[in-house]
Amino acid sequence: MNLVIVESPTKAKTISKFLGRGYKIMSSFGHVRDLPEDKLGIDIENNFKPEYVIPSKSKKVISSLKKESKKSERVILATDEDREGESISWHLEQILNLRNPQRIAFHEITKPAIEEALSNPRKIDMNLVNAQQARRILDRIVGYKLSPFLWKKVARRLSAGRVQSVAVRLIVEREREIEKFIQEQYWTITALLSKDQKEFEALLFKKDKKVIPKMGIKTEKQADEIIKELKDSEYMVEKVEKKETKKNPLPPFTTSTLQQEASKRLRFPAKMTMSIAQRLYEKGLITYHRTDSLNLSNQSLFTVKKFIEERYGKNYWPGFFKKYKAKGKVQEAHEAIRPAHIERTPDKIKEDKNSQRLYELIWRRFTACQMAPAVFDSQSYDIKAKNYAFRATGQTLKFEGFLKVYQMSFEEKDLPALRKGDILNIIKLSPLKHLTQPPPRYNEASLIKALEENGIGRPSTYAPIISTIQDRNYIEKDKDKRFSPTEIGTVVNDLLVEHFPEIVDVKFTAEMEQDLDKIAQAEKDWVKICRDFYAPFEKNLKKKYKEVSKKDITEKPTEKICPKCGSPLVERLGKFGRFYACSAFPKCRYTESLKENILGIKCPKCIKGEILEKRTKRGKLFYGCSRFPKCDFALWDKPTGKKCPICDSLLTETKRKQVKCSNKDCQYNKKMAK
């Protein structure tokens, strides 16, 4: 009997379909060892040796695997092909005391891929394992050494992270760009023209044969003067340009681009996208979903060529295989994300709605990437009026090509057929005011793109990074799903930027990612990388414990007096915002909410208290009585101050701007729902 160990029960179930009776497939249910939760777990003096422990949830699984491995003729470790997968295989080898286990890896869970992997087993790649260990150790050092510093100097339960803190910095700096932005106005002038009773628009773009810059017309007065100059002008076609233009398909998905596109098109958070992609991979529907490669196997290219020609027609295949190359240093042995079987069209798979939608996105993107470009007939007319020139542009779709499968936005604009020298009728000149816009806040898609462009983290880490900094109340989403920093996020960021600049330096973090890649490629020693980071970090940390004052960061004096002991009240910053606190703390523990958090609504339960904005320990906003714990009244939805016409309870407003009664059993809710 051959024992095959994978990390997921779903993956085990899929693989069992392709292997015969001589194989037993078992799952490790993910990682089987990790660093301890209650301490650093790294022997700094002994070459950063990690202290691995088996979590309670894994002990039963390990016992079963040990029992089965002793009975098996050979043990095959078939975990995922990335650093995490290699690390799981190594931990299994150590815990199960395996002698010469066979390591296999495959990019897709299909019968040919598994048979190929079984024919070419290898040893565990310790370079990949060491790269994963180095990342885990560096992250643990920053988290376990720097977080207590934040507890002491800012507030309890805060945390810092080697990569997450850089992501917060990007969001804080973007917010400051927006705050500093000074809006400017500029004007454009459009001419509505006609020929043979067909109207079209042209935009003013030249004066005295020089291009007018985007903000060249700065005032309404300038725009009006130009319109006066053009009064009674003759509008003549000076230049005609007609050509065929092509729009090429986008490359297949990598982890990063899949997360970005799923966010834009499907409104999926990155964490959700990766969770669904994991299931699709384990069920054998798509290739491995953690990749930065754009490589495609020859077999997949021949298969999709045949499919395109049979399904859509030979003119939809461009006549050659399209090869895409990713920027930077990637593992080209890996493949891009694609369907494992192109003939499994989205309508042929039976999954839940969200899995179906993500699979369809992947299937369409891959199919389209090997299709012919879309072809447009484009026209451009330059129109002279005195010493000014206008330009009209248009395009019409001639051949849809890949757009038949993968929709992308484009504008069709049909212009009348004109010749050089044609005289046009002017209907009106329209000045249009524009205002410059500040840079937009990051959403999930644009933040992932920024992380990737700056070399921060790896494709598999983007989703947990975004999730973590939200859970820790460093950033929050607005109604448009865009991120802004919380006050505590800004304070922590500024503290780290001032006192630990390397930890939140974009370039330094990107270089560290490159070092981890070099460890994986046997070009650098992981212990040296950890030592080079730790020595200056620890020295600076000791220094900052002495230099940095908590009061300077978190407290502001006020003129208010504590009603309990008569000491002055200070405005203090906590994890979930500012509040009033007694300066005699810890002798006096009096606290009071700021006026800005008070909604001005009486508590309906105790009558004496007022409703305040509050946050849970995890940062989630709710509304509760100011007399807590004496009164435990609380709501998740914001109270409006109005009473229900049926039961007299408070009416609330949901995030979707729907009004409902705070009494869940009230008939008013059913009435409003109708």
Q: Specify whether 545 is catalytic.
A: no
For residue 461, give the DSSP letter: G
Q: How far is CA 419 from CA 75, 426, 672, in A?
A: 77, 17, 62
Q: What is the 3-state secondary structure (H, E, C) of 103-119?
A: ECCCCCCCHHHHHHHHH
Q: CA 421, CA 612: separation in Å to the nearest integer? A: 72
Sorted by sequence, the CB contacts under 8 Å of residue 240 that are 6+ apart come out as: 379, 380, 381, 418, 419, 420
Note whether 105 and 117 are within 8 A (CB): yes
Name the E strands within 167-326.
185-195, 198-207, 210-211, 235-247
Distance CA 137, CA 413 (A): 57
Chain-centre distance of CA 517, in angstroms? 22
- Identified catalytic residue from 288, 359, 474, 534: 288
Beta-carbon contacts of 38 under 8 Å, excluding residues fewer than 6 positions away, are none
Number of residues in the chain: 674
- The DSSP annotation for 206-219 comes to EETTEEPPTT---S
Q: Are 117 and 107 in contact (CB under 8 A)?
A: no
Residue whose entry in the numeric block shows the structure tokens 């669904």: 276
Q: Which residue reads 């939200």 in tokens?
A: 470
Tokens of residue 51, six digits: 């202290």
C-beta of residue 631 within 8 angstroms of C-beta of residue 603: yes
Rounded distance, CA 562 to CA 554, Å? 18
Q: Are 637 and 669 in contact (CB under 8 A)?
A: no
- Per DSSP, 249 falls in state P
Residue 362 near residue 258 (C-beta atoms within 8 A): yes
Beta-carbon-side half-sphere exposure of residue 42 (alpha carbons within 13 Å): 21
The residues, any chain, with a CB within 8 Å of residue 459's CB and separated by 6 or more, are: 254, 255, 256, 290, 291, 292, 452
Place of tokens 């009997």: 1
Strands 23-27 and 598-602: unpaired
Q: Which residues contact 670 (CB under 8 A, 6 or more apart)?
A: none
Beta bridge partners of 399: 375
Q: Distance between terminal CA atoms of the chain? A: 62
- Residue 641: enclosing H or E segment and its boundaries? strand 638-643
What beta strand segments (E) does 182-234 contain? 185-195, 198-207, 210-211
Phi-psi region of 481 (alpha: psi -120 to 50; beta: other; left: phi over 0): left
Q: Which positions are annotated as active-site residues?
A: 288
